[in-house]
């Protein structure tokens, strides 16, 4: 193994959160930015809608705060919401200054859209591809800076803490990585480490997220001793295209907005049985209704039909969906679109304060990986990119003011003497499928205690098997992601079992009402180990 590389700051993740942090640190700092795939492979690039912020003179911080609190169903931390929203204008201005080409109305003013749950027009966007504009611009800016060192196709395995090294004191001092290009394990040490690894939606069979959303940062922080909060709150998008050749393709809510009907396999409409607003009910109600009907009928998917509208209208309003479906043999002007709900956003994560600080000294978590208290029990649309920006900038401020003068300690080389090359990779692919299937069936949109307990037993067996595999065989990217997913699944199941109520995105048939007071679900691996639970 090579000698560890050494940096002032190690940022794991090159999405909106990681790159904003990197670009907000002083040029005097040597910074490593790591991505397990290409630099733009995270969810950031996939964002369509935009970034929420108080940008219009008729809008107010109070109104944006109120909308966020409403969506969060009583579980948002009000100080975190106020902190985020009051920094929205400056954070978005920073993005504009970086050169993100947001859409302008009249060559001067930025065009703002309004999304569900927002009481004002406050979403700044770059047409319907905001994520691409942000990702391309920030990567370009990062490439221009000589103090920023970009590493792609390096996947973090685990964090290294002073405690793990048997040293005095506490604090994160680096991480081990698998270099996917040459398959070697390398260590990187740093005075400060930030997790900006995105969400964990890949733990479910159907997801709108890219493949890498396997909750790696959450799992690494969990194993290192950080508290993880509110992981039972996973946002599901009601309609993702269901087709063996289509991966993670969202059918926008605008299709329902323009009169699309949701249909059972026999062609019957059903939404009005669940909500008087029918197909126009809020996202979580529609997702829950689809899930209910799919489970009741044992159906693989339901259908979204807009073929009663003129073909020209559909081609003009939904060109991307029209083209994509047509390529797969579905003509949306003539037939219904097969759809399933899909896991979309992880509201919970690593517990942090307003500077992105975690429970471990010199370890920060930002973006979808973190739980800042902003989203509570349900995320308000387009608040997530805002959260990435605001907390990355405040983490940069804290790191700048508190960077140690001392180098991080020496890190021992990765010991691979006890492991061999596996010829049983089928175990990994089988376990991937099994995990994501039972999470979908037992821990999905509508939950029962019985199903959650069943999932808890399954996850225990899988963990043992994966741990055994991890101890005996050389690490691969798939194995590392699976190991992280099984930890995340365990945290989600335990969190869901702990919540004896329905609130926001967590809906239990056994506890259909909310409790009078809202509490966070906080879990710690250390504590569970002390109880003999892990």
Q: Does 117 bind ligand FAD (CB under 6 A)?
A: no
Give all strands (DSSP E) within 21-153, no chain letters: 31-35, 51-52, 112-113, 123-124, 148-152
* Interacting residues with ligand FAD between 154 and 173 (CB under 6 A): 154-156
Identify which of residues 34 and 399 has a Cβ nearer to ligand FAD in the complex.
34
**Distance in Å, CB of 104 to ligand FAD, minimum:** 18
Q: How far apart are the first and last CA of the chain?
A: 32
Q: Does 250 bind ligand FAD (CB under 6 A)?
A: yes
* Interacting residues with ligand FAD between 29 and 58 (CB under 6 A): 34-37, 41-44, 46-51
**Which position among 283, 357, 379, 451 bears the catalytic label?**
283
* Interacting residues with ligand FAD between 302 and 361 (CB under 6 A): 345
Q: Does 239 bind ligand FAD (CB under 6 A)?
A: no
Catalytic residue flag (residue 223): no
User: Contact with ligand FAD (CB under 6 A): which of 6, 8, 11, 14?
Assistant: 14
- Rounded to the nearest 10 degrees, what angle do helices 425-442 and 477-498 cross at? 20
Output the six-digit token pair for 348.
Answer: 């919970």
Identify which of residues 130 and 333 has a Cβ nearer to ligand FAD in the complex.
130
**Distance in Å, CB of 337 to ligand FAD, minimum:** 17
Q: Which helix (H) or strand (E) holds 394?
A: helix 383-402
- Rounded to the nearest 10 degrees, what angle do helices 216-224 and 477-498 cross at? 70
**Distance in Å, CB of 315 to ligand FAD, minimum:** 22
**Distance in Å, CB of 125 to ligand FAD, minimum:** 8
Q: Does 118 bind ligand FAD (CB under 6 A)?
A: no
Q: Is 334 helix (H, G, I), strand (E, B) or coil?
A: coil
| C-alpha closest to that of 140 among 23, 29, 32 | 23
Q: Produce one character per residue of 90-108: b if its CB has 16 or more CB atoms within 10 Å, e if not.
A: ebbebbeebebebbeeeee
Residues 343 and 531: their CA atoms lie apart, in Å, by: 32
Q: Does 66 bind ligand FAD (CB under 6 A)?
A: no
Q: Which helix (H) or strand (E) holds 252?
A: none
* Interacting residues with ligand FAD between 361 and 380 (CB under 6 A): 367-369
C-alpha distance from residue 397 to each of 26, 354, 392, 459 (Å) = 9, 11, 9, 40
Output the six-digit token pair for 155.
Answer: 């996947």
Q: Does 230 bind ligand FAD (CB under 6 A)?
A: no
User: Contact with ligand FAD (CB under 6 A): which of 4, 13, 349, 444?
Assistant: 13
DSSP per position, 472-511: HB---HHHHHHHHHHHHHHHHHHHHHH--S-BTTBEESSS
Q: Does 69 bind ligand FAD (CB under 6 A)?
A: no
Q: If DSSP states are collapsed to H, E and C, what string results for 74-87?
A: CCCCHHHHHHHHHC
User: Contact with ligand FAD (CB under 6 A): which of 55, 228, 251, 388?
Assistant: 388
Q: Does 395 bind ligand FAD (CB under 6 A)?
A: no
User: Contact with ligand FAD (CB under 6 A): which of 84, 161, 208, 502?
Assistant: 208
Q: Does 238 bind ligand FAD (CB under 6 A)?
A: no
Candidates 15-23, 436-444, 486-494, 507-515 — which segment interacts with ligand FAD by CB under 6 A? 15-23
Identify which of residues 212 and 341 has a Cβ nearer to ligand FAD in the complex.
212
Q: Does 17 bind ligand FAD (CB under 6 A)?
A: yes
Q: Does 198 bind ligand FAD (CB under 6 A)?
A: yes
Identify which of residues 42 and 336 has a Cβ nearer to ligand FAD in the complex.
42
Q: Using DSSP, how many helices (H) and how many strands (E) does the chain show?
A: 16, 20
User: Contact with ligand FAD (CB under 6 A): which of 24, 230, 382, 431?
Assistant: 382
Identify which of residues 50 and 356 has a Cβ nearer to ligand FAD in the complex.
50
**Distance in Å, CB of 383 to ligand FAD, minimum:** 6
Output the six-digit token pair for 37.
Answer: 């795939």
C-alpha distance from residue 226 to each of 42, 239, 345, 380, 463 (Å) = 23, 34, 21, 26, 19
Residues 82 and 381: their CA atoms lie apart, in Å, by: 17
Residues 84 and 273: their CA atoms lie apart, in Å, by: 38
**245 φ/ψ angles, rounded to the nearest 5 degrees:** -95, 0
Question: How many chain residues touch ligand FAD (CB under 6 A)?
Answer: 42
Q: Does 212 bind ligand FAD (CB under 6 A)?
A: yes
Strands 337-346 vs 302-305: parallel, antiparallel or unpaired: antiparallel
Q: Does 80 bind ligand FAD (CB under 6 A)?
A: no
Measured in whole angstroms, how far is the alpha carbon of residue 127 from the centre of its chain? 22
Task: Give just the sign of the alpha carbon dihedral 470, 474, 477, 478.
Answer: negative
Identify which of residues 127 and 311 has a Cβ nearer to ligand FAD in the complex.
127
Candidates 14-22, 72-80, 303-311, 438-446 — which segment interacts with ligand FAD by CB under 6 A? 14-22
Identify which of residues 18 and 261 has a Cβ nearer to ligand FAD in the complex.
18
Residue numbers at the binding site for ligand FAD (CB under 6 A): 12-18, 34-37, 41-44, 46-51, 130-131, 154-156, 196-198, 208-209, 212, 216, 250, 345, 367-369, 382, 384-385, 388
| Active site residue ranges | 283
């Amino acid at each position: 193994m090579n000698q560890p590389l050494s940096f002032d700051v190690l940022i794991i993740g090159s999405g909106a959160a990681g790159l904003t942090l990197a670009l907000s640190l002083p040029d005097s700092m040597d910074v490593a930015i790591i991505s397990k795939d290409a630099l733009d492979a995270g969810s950031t690039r996939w964002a369509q809608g935009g970034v929420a912020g108080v940008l219009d003179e008729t809008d107010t911080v109070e109104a944006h705060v109120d909308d966020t609190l409403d969506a969060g169903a009583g579980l948002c931390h009000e100080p975190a919401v106020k902190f985020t929203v009051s920094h929205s204008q400056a954070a978005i201005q920073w993005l504009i200054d970086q050169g993100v080409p947001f859409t302008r109305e009249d060559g001067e003013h930025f065009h703002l859209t309004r999304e569900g749950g927002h009481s004002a027009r406050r979403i700044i966007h770059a047409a319907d591809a905001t994520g691409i504009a942000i990702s391309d611009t920030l990567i370009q800016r990062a490439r221009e800076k000589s103090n920023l060192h970009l590493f792609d196709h390096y996947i973090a395995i685990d964090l290294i803490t002073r405690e793990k090294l048997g040293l005095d004191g506490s604090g994160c001092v680096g991480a081990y990585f698998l270099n996917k290009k040459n398959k070697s394990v390398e260590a990187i040490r740093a005075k400060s480490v930030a997790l900006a690894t995105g969400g964990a939606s890949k733990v479910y069979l159907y997801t709108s997220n890219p493949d890498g959303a396997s909750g790696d940062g959450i799992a690494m922080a969990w194993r290192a001793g950080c508290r993880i909060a509110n992981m039972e709150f996973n946002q599901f998008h009601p309609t993702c295209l269901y087709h063996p050749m289509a991966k993670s393709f969202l059918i926008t809510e605008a299709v329902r907005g323009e009169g699309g009907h949701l249909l059972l396999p026999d062609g019957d409409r059903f939404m009005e049985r669940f909500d008087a607003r029918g197909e126009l009910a809020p996202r979580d109600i529609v997702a829950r209704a689809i899930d209910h009907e799919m489970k009741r009928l044992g159906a693989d998917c339901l259908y979204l039909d807009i073929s009663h509208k003129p073909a020209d209208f559909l081609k003009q309003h939904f060109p991307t969906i029209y083209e994509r479906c047509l390529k797969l043999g579905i003509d949306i002007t003539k037939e219904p679109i097969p759809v399933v709900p899909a896991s979309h956003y992880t509201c919970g994560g690593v517990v942090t304060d307003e500077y992105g600080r975690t429970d471990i000294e010199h370890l920060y978590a930002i973006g979808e990986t973190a739980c800042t208290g902003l989203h509570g029990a349900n995320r308000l649309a387009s608040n997530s990119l805002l959260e990435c920006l605001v907390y990355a900038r405040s983490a940069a401020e804290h790191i700048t003011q508190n960077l140690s003068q001392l180098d991080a300690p020496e890190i021992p080389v990765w010991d691979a003497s006890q492991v061999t090359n596996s010829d049983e990779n089928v175990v990994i692919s089988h376990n991937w499928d099994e995990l994501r299937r039972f999470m979908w069936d037992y821990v999905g949109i509508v939950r029962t205690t019985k199903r959650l307990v069943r999932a808890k037993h399954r996850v225990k067996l899988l963990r043992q098997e994966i741990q055994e595999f991890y101890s005996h065989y050389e690490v691969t990217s798939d194995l590392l992601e699976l190991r992280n997913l099984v930890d995340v699944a365990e945290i989600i199941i335990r969190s869901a079992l702990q919540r004896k109520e329905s609130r926001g995105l967590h809906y239990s048939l056994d506890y259909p009402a909310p409790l009078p007071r809202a509490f966070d679900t906080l879990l710690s691996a250390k504590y569970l180990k002390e109880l003999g639970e892990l």
